[in-house]
Amino acid sequence: MSQRTTYRNSAVYREGWYLNARDQRAVSRGSPHGHQVVAGNWSVNEFEMLRRAWRAGANVPYPVERTDDGVLMEYVGDASRAAPRLVNAGLSGDALHAARDQLLDNVAQLTGAQIVHADLSVYNLLWWDGRLVLIDFPQAVDATTNPSAAELLYRDLSNVADWFGRRGARIDVETAFAELVVDLVY
């Protein structure tokens, strides 16, 4: 939580957002209206990114609607429990390799739709019924308008590669990045 709060304070994720001149000035000044604009836009961004990701075929919770507090989305799990986060799913062997492969496929679906998650980690991946689900999109960026998209993609891949690598499911960050970055349109 605190980690993403730090992320959210960074302007890097907002680089591609369209704001009218008044809102833009308020955000730059850090006025109360500016803070309100930023707060409201995280959920606008989350809903839009989930919608695009879902349409592109990525395995994300189906976004139902935007609400006053955020985004209402499909629940992953069943009546007895919510899907565990990957970090708590206790995978090893074939299942772990399947999770790694699904992750790279899903990231490719995202880059194909000009989306970079920008907070990818094993805490923002769920594992349910043999399938990996990507969550937590408020800070995701649109690669067509955010000049930091490639850098964020590289960081995303590095973040998950460490965890998978330590468990024997290697991700070659340089190769994966080289393959995916060409999807991003500038």
Among 136, 146, 153, 180, binds Mg ion (CB under 5 A): 136
Q: Is residue 156 within the footprint of Mg ion (CB under 5 A)?
A: no
DSSP three-state, residue 72: strand
Window contacting Mg ion (CB under 5 A); options: 61-69, 71-79, 117-125, 171-179:
117-125
- Of the candidate spans 13-21, 26-34, 120-128, 141-149, the one that interacts with Mg ion by CB under 5 A turns out to be 120-128
Two structure tokens written together for 129 = 């019924």
CB burial of 129-150 (b: ≥16 within 10 Å; e: otherwise) equals eeebbbbbbbbbbbbeebebbb
Dihedral of the alpha carbons of 73, 45, 13, 124, in degrees to the nearest 10: 10
69 noted as active-site residue: no
Binding footprint of ligand ATP, residue count (CB under 6 A):
15
Q: How far is CA 74 from the centre of its chain?
A: 16
Closest CB to ligand ATP among residues 135, 181:
135
Is 34 among the residues that bind ligand ATP (CB under 6 A)?
Answer: no
Please list the active-site residues.
Answer: 119, 136
